Structure 1
Amino acid sequence: MTHALGCTEEDLRRLAGARSFERGLGYLAAVSRLEIGDEAITATVDGTDAYEVELTEDEDSGLTGWCDCPYGREGNFCKHCVAVGLAVLRQAESVPQQRSAAASRTRLLDGWLESRTREELLALVREQLSDDRDLRRRLELRAAAAGEDTGIVRERVLSLLDTRPFARYGYVEYADAHAYGRQAAEAVTALRALTADGRSADAVEVAREALRALGRTYGEIDDSDGLIGDVATRLAEAHLDACRTARPDPVETAEWLVRYLLSEVNDATDIDLFDYREILGEPGLARARALVVAAWRANPKGWAEKYLMERLLKADGDSVDALVEVHAADLAPNGHTHLVIARELEAAGRPGEALEWAERGLRETASEWGPDSNLVAFVCERYERADRLADVVAVRRNLLRARPSLAAYQHLRTAAGAAGTWQSVERTGALEVLKAVAQPKKGRWYDGSLLVDALMDDNDLQPAWQAATDGCADERQWLALADRIRDRRPADALSVYLRWIEPLRKQTGDSTYERLAELLLSARACQRTLGTEAEFATYLAALRADQKRKRKLMAILDQHGL
């Protein structure tokens, strides 16, 4: 049945999703300050922070919810909205009366305010300002924006962006970032008010200072939710809108823009030089081009200089050769830049030159991690299209020799398989490469060998077992081998399981106990195949007697029927 809220618990579940709905059930007791108005329902829900929630209903869209928690600000019907909806449904019978009462209060308040004199209303506002610091601050800012003294607005805007009141240890932590973001957002309101009041030129200047101020401190804020980044974007939009109205000097504007975009304070915003195309006109764009080219030639490896130069060339439709020149001035050691160049050339209809650059990238790779995997794929795909399968094999073979890995072995196997040379030629050489590095290497994430991994990947289990027996396997590999041979060679697999059970007898912890149970189950399966279950029963009884003080282990063994 649909309640006075206009929805049911099932509707809340549908809006929020099963997970958020279930979590919302746990927040029902955290709902406070619930107020059912004639148009909206508001409440506070105590979670990681005290979150403000608003539910509204519309004939077309139905129930919608807003919450200032991180998930809610992304437009989701969050667990806090669910909690408020559930709280309202718990008192559904009284909702119509509460709404009617709210509407009556609104009409009464409107009528009373309209009957007050100007002096009485001023007195009322002043009374509220003395008790509500946030309201006072907002109105002070609006008054300054409507006044003549731009200095007051500038000072107030910069104070709103000052992180010091929120930085406990010189850094605005996550818990304080939301409050700072709400305050900083008022700076955007002030700038837009300046423009709306016919003072767009002032808004341009103040916005520039605001962007620099926020950019200088952005790195000292935990902006995990992106709230401050959103404020920075809105500041940039306010600056752009003010420029559209004020029409500042195009050359001076170009100079400011390029300086700003090349500076470190630009990290917080996403300003695009060409969003200002209309404002700059040809004189401003010409000046911007000259400054960008000069900056890039002075520092061709600078990220900002390189990005702006690339953006300039693409926007102006310059030749691909100019773009190649920009990228070629700073080639990445792993060949990624060669790949960027190759893709630009291929898109320009020059596939031969594209492949030459990609091949050059493979030759010139100087990274200890080898060439960019996408670069390798690019070259190999072009070779395959041209039916140059032997060249694909050569690339994959060289990579395996230079930096042996299971992935490199697999890629070579695939390439040589397509060329028909894997079993006849390439596999023997590839395994020789892996044998040369078969002994454990210090610093690897496990102590096994690539040789065992490759042989198991080939499902060549007898050579893999022999390599492991020769000392080239770690626990992971031994157990993987045991699992693979258990049905055909149960005695060998059993010896592996029993060997790795022993060290676990001296360890504690839930994960250890689960691992021990898993190995015992594998050992029992082997002895069933061998027909020696009685031996396993004796072994298990002795283990339980030895480990009987570990009550959690005993419980886990019982759960697994051991």
Structure 2
Amino acid sequence: MGGLTEANLKMLAGSRSFERGRGYLDAVFGVEVGDGWVTASVHGTERYEVELTTDGPGGLSGECDCPYGLEGNFCKHLVALGLTVLARPESLPRQRKAARDRAQDLDGWLSALSKDELLALLREQIGEDRQLRRRLELRAASARGDLAAVRARIRDLLDIGPFAQYGYVEYTDARAYADQARQAVSAIGALTGSGRAADAITLVREAMRLLAEAVESVDDSDGWLGQIGADLADAHLDACRAAHPDPGELARWLAGHALGDIDGGLTDIDPLDYEDVLDEEGMAVLRKLAVEAWQGNRRGWAEKYLMERLAKADCDVDALIAVHAADLSPNGHTHLVIARELDTARRPDEALRWAERGVREAQDLAAVDTALVDYLCDRYQADRLADAVALRRNHFRARRTLFAYQQLRAAAGAADCWPSERDGALALLRADARRRQQGWYGGPVLVDALLDDKDVDAAWQAAADSDAHDQQWLTLADQARVARPADALGVYQRLAEPLTKRTGNAVYEQLVSLLLSIRDCHRRLGSIEEFTGYVTALRTVQKRKRNLMRLMDKHDL
């Protein structure tokens, strides 16, 4: 088991899960070592089944049925199992050899049994294992062509009754229900494999409907039923490819499934996956039905999606544009989608016209899709710099944010007209500051813009004249500390004062950072003795905060 090392466990799990896994070593029970795998039960919030694959093609891997593990993560329970196995290195080779020997012995024993003995053994297992009995009953019904019996068994398998309390399957029972429902998929696949594909088509469609009804009453947080829905979709496609059903009938069913939201998207069937089964006749029917549905409801999501898929499959850009153009979003996003489709089709002039139309028709330039503005400005960069500046200017006037200011600066800089544009932009931001209009992070955007321009003196004055945010003052102090250490010192001390009345490691880190800046200001001012007195007094008052004291010691404060 060369892949099973402590280093690999830590790499796969990450430091946090690895350390947490160490705490579960006493919770690992029933370890079974096989040839290239190890299984066990780990008792956490619940009992979880864990399996490590040690010699797989991708190296060490693992599966656990805890919620974190079901998301595909290498969890703490897998770490606990791996560390448990590593703690017994002397027994691993012996256990692996014993596992191989057991498998060979079992195969040899079964091979030596007579038919009657095998039947007796199988009947014994059927009597003890309900799941095995159900699987074999389905196979028997399929083999004798008893469609009614197969349908009845599939209905039983998809019935939530045995797992539901008060009509609902709780999270703890969802996997057991999913395991039972998965047998229905296997039965349908067996029908197709035995030459009964036409019957499989009938049953898989019924199973889709039953599963869609069941999912409304199951806590499927881990997505088990979603996977079964995907498996049913695959089973339906396999059955259709084997049975070659009537293309027109199949097209009508696929259109109804796509447009009617029969199963809430649980099976996620794409009609274009059936193109080889539908042939030209079926595809023509599918297109006709899709167009009729779309013309009846041009804003319907399902109708638009099906039309888009068909148009893309046919490489029909004009049809695709017509679908998008029938439902244009007011923020210009749909215009951008159309422009990009036209670019892909190498029709750049039409793409530009659609993008410009999107900005022109936007109901609110402040809410326009910024990606559309970026697209147009990129197009203008080649030979229409003045248009790029005008668009950035209008966009900035509509939404006076730091980012819009930065975009205007970049465009005006490329057009060599930033000084005049800057004056106009700052005038708007000064008016906003006088009205106490704040930016996204608090405080006037004017201060942020001036800081971004590295105009520290103007930013300091703007902050003093308006209701600047503490974060803006901190940035100002950091940028001004070399040239204006006394002013910066006042800011740092003001920001530090409220932190001394709070607790918590995050607070202590902020306070120590400010103290380091305060010390730097005193050094620049030649008043380090004053800082020493300040810190001594602070330590006296804060001495009960041991984590703060340790952090201050670490930084020689």
Same fold (TM over 0.5): yes
User: Letter of the aligned partner of 2:181 in structure 1?
Assistant: A
What's the counterpart of residue 301 of structure 2? 303
Q: Does 1:267 align with 2:265?
A: yes
Structure 2 distance, partners of 1:299, 1:235, is: 29
- 1:437 deviates by 1.7
Structure 2 distance, partners of 1:149, 1:78, is: 45
What's the counterpart of residue 417 of structure 2? 421
User: Letter of the aligned partner of 1:131 in structure 2?
Assistant: E
User: Letter of the aligned partner of 1:345 in structure 2?
Assistant: L
What's the counterpart of residue 291 of structure 2? 293
Helix, strand or coil for the counterpart of 2:466?
A: coil
What's the counterpart of residue 501 of structure 1? 496
Q: Residue 107 and residue 417 in structure 1: after superposition, are their counterparts in 2 closer, same or farther (change >3 A)?
A: closer
What are the residue-to-residue correspondences of 1:152-167 with 2, within 5 Å? Answer: 152-162=149-159
Structure 2 distance, partners of 1:157, 1:173, is: 22
1:152-199, Cα deviation, whole Å (9 max, x unpaired): 333433444455666679776766554444333322211101111222
- 1:324 deviates by 1.6
What are the residue-to-residue correspondences of 1:110-509 with 2, within 5 Å? Answer: 110-162=107-159, 177-216=174-213, 218=215, 226-264=223-261, 265-318=263-316, 320-366=317-363, 370-385=367-382, 387-423=383-419, 425-439=420-434, 445-509=440-504
Q: Residue 25 and residue 557 in structure 1: after superposition, are their counterparts in 2 closer, same or farther (change >3 A)?
A: closer
Gaps of 5+ in 1: none
| Contact 1:31 1:87 survives alignment (8 Å) | yes
- 1:557 deviates by 3.4
Residue 529 of structure 2, aligned match among 534, 543, 550: 534
Helix, strand or coil for the counterpart of 1:317?
A: coil
Aligned length: 553
- 1:382 deviates by 1.1
Structure 2 distance, partners of 1:84, 1:411, is: 54
1:106-136, Cα deviation, whole Å (9 max, x unpaired): 4443444345444443333333233333333
- 1:85 deviates by 4.8
% identity of equivalent residues? 56
Residue 512 of structure 2, aligned match among 508, 517, 532: 517
Structure 2 distance, partners of 1:94, 1:359, is: 73
Q: Residue 164 and residue 468 in structure 1: after superposition, are their counterparts in 2 closer, same or farther (change >3 A)?
A: farther
Helix, strand or coil for the counterpart of 1:438?
A: helix
Gaps of 5+ in 2: none
User: Letter of the aligned partner of 2:414 in structure 1?
Assistant: A
TM-score by length of 1: 0.87
Structure 2 distance, partners of 1:237, 1:432, is: 63
- 1:202 deviates by 1.6
| Contact 1:440 1:449 survives alignment (8 Å) | no
Structure 2 distance, partners of 1:126, 1:177, is: 29
User: Letter of the aligned partner of 1:150 in structure 2?
Assistant: L
1:396-418, Cα deviation, whole Å (9 max, x unpaired): 00000011110000000000000
Structure 2 distance, partners of 1:56, 1:545, is: 57
- 1:251 deviates by 1.5
| Contact 2:365 2:398 survives alignment (8 Å) | no
- 1:535 deviates by 2.2
- 1:351 deviates by 1.6
Structure 2 distance, partners of 1:372, 1:509, is: 41
